A and B are shown apart, each in its own frame.
Chain A
Amino acid sequence: MIRLEVNGKNCRLDVPHDMPLLWVLRESLGLTGTKYGCGTGMCGSCTVIVSGEAVRSCQVSAGDVRGKVITTIEGLDINHPVKQAWISQRVPECGYCQPGQIMQAVELLTRNPHPSDRQIDEAMGGNLCRCGTYKRIRRAIMEASGNVENMP
C-alpha cells in the first residue's frame, strides 16, 4: 500500500512501487487531465506539482512520492489566476499539452512572481506544444504574474 495526498485527498493505493506516478494518476485514480506525451520526461505533458515542485510524473514512481502532497490540473480551482489567464489569453488549440503547461507555469509563478522573458523560456523550455501556442503561453504567464500566491 502506498499513501499519497492527491488534490487534498488522502489515497491509499495498491500499486507497484515502481509504477510511474503518471499511470497511478491516470489509471488508478482516473485523473486523466495529466497527459502522456513521451514517457521520457522530454515533453512536459505529464507535469504535476509534488510538494511545491513541478515534476514529470512519467519520471517519478509511486514509491518516490509516497506521503507527498500532489497537485494535478484537476486540483487547481478554475478561478486560479493561471487558469484564468489561460482562458483570457485563449491559449489552447488542441489543448492536450496545456494541463502540463499550466502546472509548470504555476510552479514558475509561485517561485518567481514576476518572471522575465528569459526566465519564462528557462522554466517552460521543457514543455512542448505541437500546436505552437508558445506566444500565448508567454502572454498568459505575464498576465498571471504577480497574482499567484500560496500555491501548494
Chain B
Amino acid sequence: MKTPLSRRHFLKGCASGAGLFLAFRIAPSCFECSAVQDILNGTPERFQPNIWLSVTPDDLVTIRVSKCDIGQGVYTSLPMIVADELGAAWDHVRYELAPVADEYRDPVWGEQVTAGSASISHLYEPLRKAGAAAREMLAEAAAGMFHVPRDRLVAGNSALRCVDSGLSLSYGKLCARAAKLPLPSDPPLKRRDQFTFIGKDLPRLDIVEKVNGSAVYGMDVRIPGMLHAAVDRPPVYGGRVLGCDMEAALRVPGVEKVGVIDSGLAVCAASLAAAWEGRNALRTRWSTGKYPWWDTDSAARTMQEHLDRQGVNKISRGDVEGAMKKASVRLRADYVLPYLAHCPMEPPNCTVHLTGDRCRIWASCQNQTAMMDTAVEETGLRPHQIDIHILFSGGSFGRRYEVDFVREAIQTARVCKKPVRLMWTREEDIKNDFYRPGNAARIEAGLDSRGRLLAWRHKVAAPSVYRRIATSLLSDGIDPAAVEAIHNSVYDFPAVIVDYVEVKAPPPVGFWRSVGNSHNAFTIETFMDELAGAAGRDPIDFRMDLLDREPRARRVLELVAARAGWGKKNTKGRYLGAALHLSVYSYVAKVAEVSVNRSDGTIRVHRIVCAVDCGQVVNRDIVRAQMEGGIIYGLSAALKEEVRFAAGGVVSENFNDYEPLRIHEAPDIEVIIVDSREKPTGVGEIGVPSAAPAVANAVSAACGVRIRRLPMTPDRMVRLLSRRVG
C-alpha cells in the first residue's frame, strides 16, 4: 500500500460511448462529483453519469466493478449497492469489469486491489452515492417530461412513476434527457427500510457461466500464435544454476526458445507438453542453496527459540508484573503453528503479448495496481500502452495479491518474442508460494482467587509479512499482522503486554486468508479455554466477563451458544468447543461439535454453528457462503495442512502431501447472521480464524489434552493422547 489516495484522482469518466462525461473523485470519507466536460454531440446513446454505471436506451444498466472476483461474489454484491440506490430492475442489471485505471483505485488503500475483506466496506458509500446521483438525474429528467415536481415521482424497477397520473417512463427512455442535467452534489440516500436489494438473497450474476463451464479463467486464455512456457526454478532457497543442457531442451520437438529469467530458466514451446518435456530435458543442476540446514523441524525450533529473546513491545497497559505476582493461579503456554500454502484450485498463470509499444496481459489476479506497476517496470512502457485483462480467478485466498507469475510471464515473453502463456503446475504452486508464515507464541496469564483474569502477557515470534510487502508499515520493527487482534483484542484485559520478535527465515511469506488473525485467534482462544478450566468456569461465561464493553461480541457468543445447545449434556461422545474473534471489524463466534477416536487419533468435526455480525449485510447468501467457505478453509488448516521443508527447500509437492479438506471431512455448517444496523464490515476472511480454536477447544473437552501445535493430525493426536495416559 504505497501511496495513500489523495484527491489527485481527478477523473475523466469512461472513454466509450457518447453522453455526459463527468469527473468523479472519491476520498475515503466523502464523495464529490463535478462536471468537467460536456461533450454531447447529437443524441447521447448512453447515460453515464459517473465511473460506476451507465444506462442505455434498451433499459440495460451496466455497473462497473473495480474489484476482482476470487470467488467472493463482488460481481454481484457491488452492483447490488449501485442498483439499489439507482432504483434499477435487477433483471436489467449487468456487470462489467472496470479497467485498470487510477479512478478505480480503492478509496482507502489507494491501489486497485482486492484485499483485506474491504471491497464492500470501502465502496459501500461511494457506490450508494453514485447510484443515488444517477437516480436523481433521471428523476429530474422525468419531472421535466411530465411537468411535475420531483417529489411527485417515485423511482423503482428501472422507471420513474408519477404518483398522481400513474404514468411512468423507463430509465432507457429518460437517459438522453438525464445526460444533459447537472450531477447533484449530495444526492439523498435511501433509508434502510427503503432498500430493495441490499440485505437480500439475490442469486449471483456469475453463477450460470460458472455452472456451464463458459466462465473464462486466466488458465483458459488462448491468443493466436501463442507459445506455452514452463519455468525451471531452484528447488531450494538461494539455489543457483550450476549447469544445464539447453541444447537438449531445444532438441525437444516443439521447443522454440530457452532463456534465463529472474526466477530461473524459461522454456517456450508450441505446446504445453513440449514446454514441460523441454524443462525436463534441461536436467538443470542446482547449487545446495543458502540454507541447507532449513527443514520442518528447524523452522519450528527457530521460532520457538526466538520466544526466549527480548521482543519489541507493541503495547503495555496496566501493571502486568504486579498482577502476575499476586495471582492465585498463573498459566503459561507455548504454541507453534506451521507454514501454510494457499493452494487456489487454479494454479498461477499469466498470458502476455509484448510488441514494440504495447504490452497486453491476461491473468487471474487480485492486485491490478501491482500488475500495472510490474508491467511498467519490466517493459519500460507507459501505463496507457499496457492493457490488463482480469479473468475469473480459480480461488486466490491472498496468493494472487502477489504478481510474481506476471513478472515471470513478461520476462518470458521477452525471451520468446511471441505471445506466450505461462502456466504453473500444482507442484510449482506449492513449492513457490508466499506462505502463511509459521508462528510461535507464548502466553502467560494470572487469575485471582475467584478465577478472574488479572493480566495477559503475549509474545509472538514469527517472520514478518510486511517487511517485504510494505516495510513502511513496520512501526518500530513490529509486524502489524503478527500482533493483530492481540494488542487490539476484543477482550478487555485488565493488564496486558504484547511483544513481538521478528524471525528471519528463508521462505517468502505473504497474505493468507485472514493473515495474522489465523494464528492469533488460535492461540488466544485456546488459551482462554485453558484459563476458564483453571478458574473452574464455563468457557463462554469466562469470556463474557471480559466483554462488558463489547455487546456485539456478547451477542454472537449468545447466539451460537443457544443454537448449538451449549451447556446441555453431551451425547454420543460428541463434545463442544467455542471460540470468538473480531477481525476486519466483524464479529464471529463459533461452536464446534467434535468427536475424537482415541485409538487412531482421528478427529471428526460433525457440526459448526457460526454467528456473524458484519454490520449491514449486502447479500445474505454471499455472507453465508463466505462463512461456510472460510470455516472449511480454517478447518482444513487446523486438521491437515502443513508445508514441509527439507535441505533448504519445500518438499511438499501436490495434494498427496498437502491435502485440503474433502467433502467427507466437512461438517454440517449453520450460519446465523445478525441483523445489524452498523456500517458494513469485512466478510471474506472472517470465517477462518475462529474455526481452528473452536475445534481444538472441543477436542480438549473430549479428551483433556491441550492443542498447542497445528495441524491436529491423527499422528499428533495419538502422541498427545498416549502421553496423557502414560
Please report A residues at the B interface, Cβ cutoff 8 Å. Answer: 16, 19, 23, 26-27, 30-40, 42-43, 45, 72-74, 76, 78, 83, 86-87, 90-99, 102, 120-122, 124-138
Residue of A nearest to B429 (CB): A38
Query: Chain A binding site: helix, strand, loop or mixed by DSSP?
Result: loop
The contact of A35 among B209, B345, B636, by CB within 8 Å, is B345
Q: Using Cβ atoms and an 8 Å threshold, which residues of chain A touch B533?
A: none
A125 touches B662 (CB 8 A): yes
Which of A27, A72, A87, A128 is B213 in contact with, Cβ under 8 Å? A72
B661 close to A (CB within 8 Å) = yes
> Taking CB as reference atom, which chain A residue is nearest B215?
A95
* A133: B residues at CB distance < 8 A: 625, 628-629
Give the contacting residue for A32; candidates B209, B220, B425, B654; CB below 8 A.
Answer: B220
> B237 at the A/B interface (Cβ < 8 Å)?
no
CB-defined contacts of A26 to chain B, threshold 8 Å: 220
Chain B residue at smallest Cβ distance from A75: B213
Chain A residues lying within 8 Å of B117, measured Cβ to Cβ, are: none
Bound-state CA distance A137–B72 (Å) is: 17
In the assembled complex, the CB of A45 is this many whole angstroms from the nearest CB of chain B, namely 6
The 6 closest A-B pairs by CB, nearest first: A33-B213, A132-B632, A96-B394, A95-B210, A94-B71, A73-B213
Chain B residues with CB under 8 Å of A138's CB are 663
A38 to B271, CA, bound (A): 18
**Does the CB pair B217–A96 fall under 8 Å?**
yes
Residue of A nearest to B627 (CB): A132
Contact B273 A23 (CB under 8 A): yes
Beyond A94-B70, A97-B345, A132-B632, whether A124 also contacts B663 by CB under 8 A is yes
Q: Which of B6-38 contact A (CB under 8 A)?
A: none
Q: How far is the CB of A96 from chain B (nearest CB, A)?
A: 3
Is there contact, CB below 8 Å, between A130 and B344?
Answer: yes
Task: Indicate if B214 sits at the interface (CB-CB under 8 A).
Answer: yes
Complex: A137 Cα to B219 Cα, angstroms: 24
A140 to chain B, nearest CB (A): 10
Q: B628 contacts which of A23, A39, A42, A135 (Cβ < 8 Å)?
A: A135
* Additional pairs, 16, CB under 8 Å, beyond known A35-B219, A93-B72, A127-B663: A35-B394, A37-B345, A39-B426, A73-B212, A74-B214, A78-B208, A83-B212, A86-B211, A90-B203, A92-B206, A93-B626, A95-B392, A96-B395, A130-B343, A132-B628, A134-B662
CB distance from A109 to the nearest CB of B (A): 15
What B residues does A130 contact at CB under 8 A? 343-345, 395, 397, 633, 660
- Using known A-B contacts A36-B219, A94-B69, A134-B632, determine if residue A121 contacts B207 with beta carbons closer than 8 Å: no
Give every chain A residue within 8 A of B394 (Cβ-Cβ): 35, 94-97
Q: Does B668 contact A (CB under 8 A)?
A: yes
Taken together as a complex, chains A and B put the C-alpha atoms of A15 and B271 apart, in Å, by 11
Is B213 a contact partner of A131 (Cβ separation < 8 A)? no
When chains A and B are docked, how far (Å) is the Cα of A134 from the Cα of B72? 16
- The CA of A36 and the CA of B272, in the complex, are separated in Å by 12
A50 to chain B, nearest CB (A): 17
Contact with A along B382-421 (1 / 0, CB 8 A): 0000000000111111000000000000000000000000
Could you say which residues of chain A place their CB within 8 Å of the CB of B273? 16, 19, 23
Q: How far is the CB of A54 from chain B (nearest CB, A)?
A: 15
Is the CB–CB distance between A40 and B655 below 8 Å? yes
The complex places the Cα of A90 from the Cα of B206 at a distance, in Å, of 10
Interface residues on B, range: 35 or more
CA distance A122 to B207 in the complex (A): 26
Task: Report how many A-B pairs have Cβ atoms within 8 Å.
Answer: 173
B residues 330-346 with Cβ under 8 Å of A?
A: 343-346
A92 touches B345 (CB 8 A): no
Residues of B contacting A76 with CB < 8 Å?
212
Note all chain A residues with C-beta closer than 8 A to B71. Answer: 92-95, 131
Cβ contact within 8 Å between A34 and B213: yes
Chosen A-B contacts, 22 in total, with CB atoms closer than 8 Å, are: A35-B345, A36-B347, A36-B423, A37-B347, A39-B426, A39-B654, A40-B654, A73-B213, A74-B212, A78-B211, A78-B212, A87-B207, A92-B204, A92-B206, A92-B207, A96-B345, A98-B210, A126-B662, A130-B344, A131-B395, A132-B632, A134-B663
Contact: A137 with B625, CB < 8 Å?
no
Contact mask for chain B residues 268-287; partner A; CB cutoff 8 A; 1 contact, 0 none: 00011100000000000000
Q: Give complex CA distance A6, B206 in Å.
A: 26
Give the complex CA separation of A90 and B204 in angstroms: 8
Instruction: State in angstroms the CA–CA spacing of A137 and B220 once bound together.
Output: 24
* A87 and B211 contact, Cβ closer than 8 Å, known pairs A125-B664, A131-B395, A132-B632: yes
Q: A31 to B199: give the CA distance in the assembly, Å.
A: 37
Which one of A16, A90, A121 lies within 8 Å of B625 (CB-CB)? A90
Is B666 part of the binding interface, using a Cβ–Cβ cutoff of 8 Å?
Answer: yes
> Which residues does chain A contribute within 8 Å of B343, judged by CB atoms?
130
Q: How far is the CA of A92 from the CA of B207 in the complex (A)?
A: 7
B599 in the interface (beta carbon within 8 A)? no
Interchain CB contact under 8 A, B395 and A98: no
Given B206, B656, B663, which contacts A42 in the complex, CB threshold below 8 Å?
B656
Closest to B72 in A: A93
Contacts of A72 in B (CB 8 A): 213
**Hey, what's the 0/1 contact readout for B632-670 against A, CB within 8 Å counting as 1?**
110010000000000000000011100111111010110
Contact A132 B630 (CB under 8 A): yes
Name B298-347 residues within 8 Å CB distance of A: 343-347
Residue of B nearest to A117 (CB): B664
Given A40-B654, A132-B666, A137-B663, does the pair A35, B346 have CB atoms closer than 8 Å?
yes
B621 at the interface (CB under 8 A from A): yes
Report how far A27 CA is from B214 CA in the complex, Å.
15
Could you tell me the distance between the alpha carbons of A39 and B428 in the complex, rounded to whole angstroms? Answer: 12
| B211 near A94: Cβ-Cβ < 8 Å | no
Contact A90 B655 (CB under 8 A): no
Contact of B654 among A27, A42, A120 (CB under 8 A): A42
- In the assembled complex, the CB of B664 is this many whole angstroms from the nearest CB of chain A, namely 4
CB nearest neighbor in B for A91: B211
Q: Which residues of A contact B69 (CB under 8 A)?
A: 94
| Residue among B212, B636, B663, B669 with max Cβ neighbours from chain A (10 Å) | B663
A130 CA to B628 CA in the complex, in Å? Answer: 11
List residues of chain A with CB within 8 A of the CB of B345.
35, 37, 43, 45, 94, 96-97, 128-131
Chain B residues with Cβ under 8 A from A125's Cβ? 662-664
Q: Does B73 contact A (CB under 8 A)?
A: yes
Residues in chain A near residue B396, CB distance under 8 A:
94
* Cβ-based interface call for B216 (8 A): yes
Are A90 and B629 closer than 8 Å at their CB atoms? Answer: no
Q: Is B576 interfacial (CB 8 A cutoff)? A: no
Q: Which of B140-172 contact A (CB under 8 A)?
A: none
- Inter-chain CA distance A124–B664, complex, in Å, is 8
Contact B208–A30 (Cβ < 8 Å): no
Residue of B nearest to A82 (CB): B211
B628 touches A98 (CB 8 A): no
B213 touching A38, Cβ below 8 Å: no
Task: Give A30 to B209 CA distance when docked, in angstroms.
Answer: 16
Q: Which residue of A32, A39, A42, A90 is within 8 Å of B216 (Cβ)?
A: A32
Verify if B222 is at the interface (C-beta below 8 Å from A): yes
Residues of B within 8 Å of A92, CB to CB, are 71, 204, 206-207, 210-211
User: Which B residues are CB-close (under 8 A) to A78?
Assistant: 208, 211-212
Judging by beta carbons under 8 Å apart, are B272 and A27 in contact?
yes
Please give the distance in Å from A112's CB to the nearest CB on chain B. 16
User: How many angstroms from the CA of A134 to the CA of B212 in the assembled complex?
Assistant: 19
Check B219–A38 contact: CB distance below 8 A: no
- Contact (Cβ within 8 A) A99 B213: yes
User: What is the distance, in angstroms, from A145's C-beta to the closest C-beta of chain B?
Assistant: 16
A residues within 8 A CB of B397?
130
Q: Is B663 a contact of A121 with CB atoms below 8 Å?
A: yes
